Structure 1
Amino acid sequence: MGKTIISVQYLRGIAALMVVYFHTKVYLAGYAWGVPRNFGYSGVDLFFCISGFIMMHTTLGRPVQPASFLRNRLLRVYPLYWLLTLSSLALYVIAPSAFIDGSASLGHAILSLLLIAHFDAPVLRIGWTLVYEIFFYAHFALTLWATPHRRLPLLCALIIGLVALGALCAPESPVLQTYTHPFLLEFLAGAAIGAAFRSERFTQLPSGLAILCLLAGVGLIALGMERRGGDGFSRVLWFGSGAALILLAGLVFERRGRLFASRWLHDMGDASYSLYLTHPFVLTGFRQIGRRLGVADGTALVHGLWVLAAISTAIVTGWLTYRLVEQPLQRALRERGWNGRETVDRLPANAAAQT
């Protein structure tokens, strides 16, 4: 159980980098860039599939108390998120013009800190995916009361029931829309892969199947980029299915001993949660500095170099935040007995992830 699943570790890093890359289109919209950035949009869907996989894979085959599971997950997600949300609130008060949009009312701030769905995205807007994560954890905890072989069927019933309810009732409330959103199916797909991964038959899957899954996954995401029609079932069909196939491909490659070695991607997997949460601050800073320096008036080459500098700075900032803030913070929680002992494949950095 303590052995790191390298393919998942790599995909966590890749998912975080995809989100950062996509967000250069949002935060640095005025800068020309010759390479399409829409494909990074699917990084969130990959995160959701990974989260479902991790939760199912690491809880099967061992007793897990629902309360202990929830405590560990909340202590894994909230501390760094709270720190950066409070930092975002402080910056909003000091320099509201630096924000693309958002609000900072007391009620909004409290609901944002708790990661409870409400009328708007969280103050730290990237946290909208964490709202889904926390909701999924709550439902997954319910399945831990069941015997291992009944967990996946119970999770299917809970999630499919919620999504079906949303599809039938078409609620107008943003809260109900969130808690019945088809995104939940991506967690379920990952959980199903997690259950299958523990089967002896999984080791018999051929490398050729992994290649087909990888090509099909990339193809679905590419088609989704062209046909994306909102964030409902259409997105889950293209991006969610593509992400699940890519996850499956990576796991088969690893089981067959065909996975390449990359220390850098491994490190990006470690730092993925910090990178995910901190990159909006970096990109916002580059947008503000770019305005003052007149970078937008430069040539396409200048624009490209500016975007590359923003991405590189975001990566370095995410890594430093992981080493200097997130890692020591989690270590301190464990030393005080507030959080269970973790390994990277047991309680991954969110997974959360997340655009």
Structure 2
Amino acid sequence: MNRLPGLDLLRAIAIAWVMIFHSYIIGGWGHYGGVEKIGWMGVDLFFVLSGFLIGSQVLKPLAQAQGFSFTDFYLRRAFRILPVYLLVVAVYFIWPSMREYPGIQPLWQFLTFTVNLLIDVEHNLAFSHVWSLCVEEHFYLLFPVLAWWLARRPSVRKFATVCIAVVVLGMFLRGYIWLHFMAPVKGVDQNSYGNAFLEGIYYPTWSRLDGLLTGVVLAVLRIYRPALWAQWGQRANGVLMAGLVVLGLSIWLFQDRTGFAATLLGYPLLSAGMGLLVMAGACENGVLERARVPGAGWLAMASYSLYLSHKLVFHGVEAAAGHWLDGHGVATFAGYALAVLATGALLHYAVERPFLRLRGYMAGLRSRRSFAGTVPAQAGADAA
């Protein structure tokens, strides 16, 4: 899929929103009228974007009966995800003083992307934001297999059943954990209450599939129902307004972020709102597609490196220059922001881009070898 300016803008908003949120909870230097307190919602926007983009990559060849190469898909993901990730993991374990918190989960959990399932938030919060990457890795691993199975005999009923099952299972698990692990300690032991929320509801993959599922549904609509997608595309700005309304309802519901109603219903509602925004951004006739915000495209391209490294940078700047930066308003923001952007740029250009070029070279080489292998057989057939 070609880059879409509307989706790049949404990705840029998502990464900026998440970093502002983390700056708020770690250093307390970011205050933007309350926006910083709900910046965690940027991760849900990332989930919908990933579901839509990865879903489109997987479903398009299946829908066109071109066949799907699991090897090519997983190699592409490995070249995209692993180089920068492994470098940042190495920094966390080789230089403990760089960590934003002292304690960290065992290395093997980072290498197997199981941190979000096993994390001890009371003692090991360093690099805890990797939880969302773990969720996405589990999605990359399982979704192509499920999509291939569903595409063998396409059925609206079968697809709808899977979608409903994912949403209902997530609601059931979150509700069960809230009632049996959070409710008994609410108002009695706030540490245990907050830990149970993070470990049982916010981080685990099975509780956070709503956004990825929403993105996949959009990809299915775009690929399997192009006429309907085009019809809605003519109303892109209306879809955008509807998304903002649903997002506003989600923000209202999440006023008590760890409450039962938000835990049970908030994530599907928030994902639906983000899904409408992504749909508006992917349509050609909307304001998001036509908007040209300086720097948004670059932020979107560098968002992965920025996401992985920003907490390290926050801590490093705080340790090195926090004594004279903090408390100075614009100067504080500029100091931290410039350090984050510089580090993200370094990782993007020195690590991400070279490996992406290597990925492209290897893909071209594989394609040429495949083509060369088919020429003699075709020539023989022509001669016969």
Query: Common fold, TM-score beyond 0.5?
Result: yes
Higher helix proportion: 2
In the alignment, what sits opposite 1:327? Answer: 353
**Aligned pairs, how many?**
327
Partner of 2:238: 209
Q: Which residue is equivalent to 2:9? A: 10
Partner of 1:350 in structure 2?
none
| Paired letter, 1:178 | P
Q: Is the 8 A contact 1:139 1:158 kept in 2?
A: no
Distance 1:280 1:129 in 2: 14
After superposition, residues 29-178 of structure 1 pair within 5 angstroms as: 29=28, 31=29, 33=31, 35-36=33-34, 37-62=36-61, 63-92=67-96, 95=97, 99-103=100-104, 108-116=106-114, 117-120=117-120, 124-146=127-149, 148=151, 149-150=154-155, 152-153=159-160, 156=163, 159-160=166-167, 162-163=169-170, 166-167=173-174, 170=177, 178=204
User: Given that residues 66 and 144 in structure 1 are in contact (C-alpha distance below 8 angstroms), is that contact kept between their aligned partners in structure 2?
Assistant: no
Partner-residue secondary structure (3-state), 1:180 = helix
Tell me, in whole angstroms, the C-alpha distance in 2 between the residues paired with 1:10 and 1:337. Answer: 28
Secondary structure of 1:226's aligned partner: coil
Secondary structure at 1:99's aligned position in 2? coil
| CA–CA distance in structure 2, aligned partners of residues 264 and 27 of structure 1 | 25
What does 1:252-291 align with in structure 2 at a 5 Å threshold?
A: 252=283, 254=285, 259-262=290-293, 264-291=295-322
Q: What's the TM-score, normalizing by structure 2?
A: 0.73
Residue of structure 2 in register with 1:245 after alignment: 276
1:261 offset after TM fit, Å? 2.5
* CA-to-aligned-CA distance 1:252-292 (integer Å, 9 cap, x gap): 3546896212352111111111111111121111221344x
Distance 1:87 1:327, change over 3 A: same
User: Residue 251 of structure 2: SS of its match in structure 1?
Assistant: helix
> Any unmatched runs of 5+ in structure 2?
62-66, 182-195, 368-384
1:175-208, CA deviations, whole angstroms, 9 ceiling, x for partnerless residues? 8982421x11111111111211232222122245
CA distance in 2, matches of 1:143, 1:153: 13
1:155, 1:303 → 2: CA distance? 49
CA distance in 1, matches of 2:366, 2:288: 31
Report the RMSD for the aligned CA atoms in angstroms: 3.3
Q: Which structure is higher in RCO with an 8 Å CA cutoff and minimum separation 6?
A: 1
In the alignment, the residues of structure 1 paired with residue 237 and residue 340 of structure 2 have an alpha-carbon distance, to the nearest angstrom, of 36
Query: Which whole-Å deviations, capped at 9, do the CAs of 1:16-37 have from their partners, x for residues lacking one?
Result: 11111111102212x4735321
2:325 touches 2:331 (CA, 8 Å); kept in 1?
no
Q: Cα distance 1:222–1:195, how it changes in 2: closer, same or farther (>3 A)?
A: same
Give the 3 Å change call, closer, same or farther, for CA 190–294 of structure 1 in structure 2: same
For residue 227 of structure 1, give the secondary structure of its aligned residue in structure 2.
Answer: coil
TM (norm. structure 1) is 0.79
Report which stretch shifted further, 226-235 or 207-216.
226-235
Aligned-partner Cα distance in 2 for 1:137–1:158: 19
Identity %: 21
The 1:119–1:135 alpha-carbon spacing in structure 2 relative to 1, beyond 3 Å, is: same
The 1:38–1:257 alpha-carbon spacing in structure 2 relative to 1, beyond 3 Å, is closer
Query: What are the Cα deviations for residues 106-150 of structure 1, in whole angstroms up to 9, with x where unaligned?
Result: xx1111122123234785322110111111122202223235445
The answer to whether the 8 A contact 2:317-2:339 is kept is: no
Structure 1, unpaired ranges of 5+ = 342-355
For the residues of structure 2 that align with 1:207 and 1:226, how far apart are their CA atoms? 29
> Which amino acid counterpart does residue 306 of structure 1 have in structure 2?
T
Q: Distance in 2 between matches of 1:276 and 1:340?
A: 32
Q: Residue deviations 1:311-349, cap 9 Å, x none?
A: 2321232123212221112223443459989xxxxxxxx
Q: Using the alignment, how far apart are the partners of 1:4 and 1:254 within structure 2?
A: 16
